[in-house]
Amino acid sequence: MPGKSVSVDKMRLIKQIQDAEEARRRELREMVVEASVGNGLVVARMSGYKTLDKLTIDPQLMVPDGAGYLEDLIRAAVNEAGRRVDERLRGEYASLIDRLPDLR
């Protein structure tokens, strides 16, 4: 019966996609990306969900007149960490899509 085998094939494909998506969610939870700016003066660590998990600031930056410079370094570190998450996700999603069969 051709109709039943197509239906079973589609169900298997749906299961593969669901499994891949669950693996993706697990990878996002476990992903950690770091970005360092100002020769390591500021380091931002971000999760795959783009939440800032940790921000390390070198104590030498804690001076009254250095607020503007410090703000720039923090912004740069957080933005770079976000870009790195995006890069990893783009590469991993492209790999996932390449592994899926043609749905036509």
Q: Where are the domains of the chain?
A: 2-99
Residue 101: what pLDDT? Answer: 64
Report the SS3 class of residue 39: coil
Fold held by 2-99: Ybab; Chain: A; (3.30.1310)
Residue 11: what pLDDT? Answer: 85
Residue 19: what pLDDT? Answer: 85
- Contact between residue 61 and residue 44 where contact means Cβ atoms under 8 Å apart: no
**73 token code pair:** 């370094």
Radius of gyration of the chain (CA): 21
- Contact between residue 60 and residue 41 where contact means Cβ atoms under 8 Å apart: yes
Residue 90: what pLDDT? Answer: 87
**4 token code pair:** 């039943």
Residue 13: what pLDDT? Answer: 82
CA 88 to chain centre: 6
Per-residue confidence in pLDDT tens, the chain, 104 aa: 455 566 888 888 888 888 888 888 888 888 999 999 999 999 999 999 899 999 999 999 988 888 899 999 999 999 999 999 999 888 877 777 776 666 54
- Contact between residue 78 and residue 70 where contact means Cβ atoms under 8 Å apart: no
Say if pTM beats, i.e. exceeds, 0.85. no
